[in-house]
């Protein structure tokens, strides 16, 4: 979607050549990552993101010298009313490092765009690269002809949402299996997460997980022992079927015989979309492997699909 908007901007001359990404610009150098992420040995396991997407200036200097246009694909404080309430009732206590006296949370954040390595995607789903290319080509109405004409191009930038990682506590604890780590993998629910819709409980799950992450990180004294919490927020609205389909399902839920029932959500989705879920959690652990996670002590989730995907990928 962002590429489409950028194309329009270039067409109407809102972007000039002088405005394009210049790796030698002092401004670009100041945008480099604030913390060091990524673990070299696990990059072979990753097929949905670019392991070097956060450090393109350091990773590809010779390409920049040749004039290649390489953009980063991986790029605060958090203030939430539920955290204020948790402090008020005594579930959380400010420590000045992770949870400030103002009840704001100190976090490290990474935003990541999807970058698919097609041979790896095909292998993960036990299909062939040729079949995968053909299916994407057909389902996108032929928008990407190189999928079937350029088999030498192994990378595909899918027109789907990315993910954001929020880290609480000591970053070094994430890769140390002897340190306590709490994790939630959360799939976007705009209605609940942002606007407080009561038709689902997605935001309460998310805020509870954030609270668990803070508690876990605080137990280590931040610097002395080192513990951490991680929230991975995927843009997979409506089980990755999209918000339009999601609201069609909601309409069916409310009008079905017997009235609305959360227990019928899967069946209603099947009736509307022909499938219950397309999030394909087998791809999800890539973000955890990129962080270097090998062990999770507290996995805050009710999803057996997420749990199984993580364990099957080799994370304890």
Share of the chain above pLDDT 70, in %: 80
Give strand pairing partners of 181.
228
Average pLDDT for 170-193: 93
Mean of the per-residue pLDDT values for the chain? 85
pLDDT at 13: 63
- What pLDDT band is residue 29 in, cutting at 50, 70 and 90? low
More confident residue, 2 or 45: 45
Judged against a pLDDT cut of 80, whether residue 75 lies above it is answered with: no
pLDDT in tens, 234-250: 999 999 999 999 999 99
Q: Which two tokens stand for residue 43?
A: 């990059």
CA 145 to chain CA centroid, Å, is: 27
pLDDT at 161: 92
pLDDT at 69: 67
Average pLDDT for 3-20: 62
Judged against a pLDDT cut of 70, whether residue 7 lies above it is answered with: no
Judged against a pLDDT cut of 70, whether residue 256 lies above it is answered with: yes
Share of the chain above pLDDT 90, in %: 63
- Which residues lie below 8 Å from residue 44, measured CB to CB, with a gap of 6+? none
pLDDT at 224: 45
Judged against a pLDDT cut of 90, whether residue 149 lies above it is answered with: yes
In whole angstroms, give the CA distance from residue 151 to residue 225.
Answer: 49
Query: In the CATH scheme, what is the homologous superfamily, with its name and number, of domain 2-114+157-236+279-312?
Result: GTP cyclohydrolase II (3.40.50.10990)
Cβ–Cβ < 8 Å for 118, 158: no
Average pLDDT for 12-20: 59
pLDDT at 163: 94
Cβ–Cβ < 8 Å for 171, 118: no
Judged against a pLDDT cut of 50, whether residue 253 lies above it is answered with: yes
- Which residues lie below 8 Å from residue 291, measured CB to CB, with a gap of 6+? 37, 38, 39, 165, 174, 175, 230
Q: Which uninterrupted H or E stretch holds 229?
A: strand 228-234
Cβ–Cβ < 8 Å for 186, 233: yes
Average pLDDT for 56-79: 69
Cβ–Cβ < 8 Å for 49, 290: yes
Q: What is the DSSP string of 242-279?
A: -HHHHHHHHHHHHHSTT---GGGHHHHHHHHHSSS---
pLDDT at 182: 97
Judged against a pLDDT cut of 60, whether residue 20 lies above it is answered with: no
Average pLDDT for 286-292: 94
In whole angstroms, give the CA distance from residue 65 to residue 156.
Answer: 24
Average pLDDT for 82-87: 94
Average pLDDT for 201-207: 94
- What pLDDT band is residue 221 in, cutting at 50, 70 and 90? low
- Domain limits of the chain? 2-114+157-236+279-312, 116-153
Active-site residue set? 277, 279
- What pLDDT band is residue 78 in, cutting at 50, 70 and 90? confident
pLDDT at 223: 46
Lowest mean pLDDT among 24-33, 106-115, 260-269: 24-33
């Amino acid at each position: 979607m962002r590429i489409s908007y950028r194309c329009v901007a270039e067409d109407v001359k809102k972007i000039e050549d002088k405005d394009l990404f210049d790796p030698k610009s002092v401004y670009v150098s100041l945008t480099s990552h604030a913390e060091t992420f990524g673990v070299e040995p696990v990059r072979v396991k990753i097929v949905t993101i670019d392991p070097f997407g956060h450090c393109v200036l350091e990773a590809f200097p010779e390409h920049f010298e040749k004039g290649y246009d390489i953009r980063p694909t991986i790029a605060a404080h958090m203030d939430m009313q539920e955290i204020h309430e948790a402090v008020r009732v005594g579930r959380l206590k400010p420590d000045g490092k992770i949870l400030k006296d103002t009840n704001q949370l100190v976090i490290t954040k990474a935003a990541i765009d999807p970058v698919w390595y097609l041979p790896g995607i095909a292998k993960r789903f036990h299909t062939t690269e040729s079949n995968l290319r053909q299916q994407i080509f057909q389902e996108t109405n032929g928008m990407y002809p190189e999928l079937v004409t350029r088999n030498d191009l192994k990378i595909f930038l899918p027109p789907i949402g990315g993910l954001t990682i929020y880290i609480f506590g000591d970053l070094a604890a994430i890769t140390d299996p002897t340190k306590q780590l709490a994790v939630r993998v959360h799939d976007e629910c705009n209605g609940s997460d942002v606007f407080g819709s009561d038709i689902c409980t997605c935001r309460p799950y998310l805020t509870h997980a954030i609270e668990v992450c803070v508690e876990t990180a605080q137990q280590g004294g931040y610097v002395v022992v080192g513990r951490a919490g991680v929230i991975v927020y995927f843009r997979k609205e409506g089980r990755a079927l999209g918000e339009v389909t999601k609201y069609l399902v909601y309409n069916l839920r409310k009008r079905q015989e017997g009235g609305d029932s959360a227990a019928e959500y899967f069946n209603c989705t099947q009736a509307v979309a022909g499938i219950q879920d397309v999030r394909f959690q087998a791809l999800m652990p890539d973000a955890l492997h990129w962080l270097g996670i090998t062990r999770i002590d507290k996995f805050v989730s009710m999803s057996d699909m997420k749990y199984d995907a993580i364990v099957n990928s080799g994370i304890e």
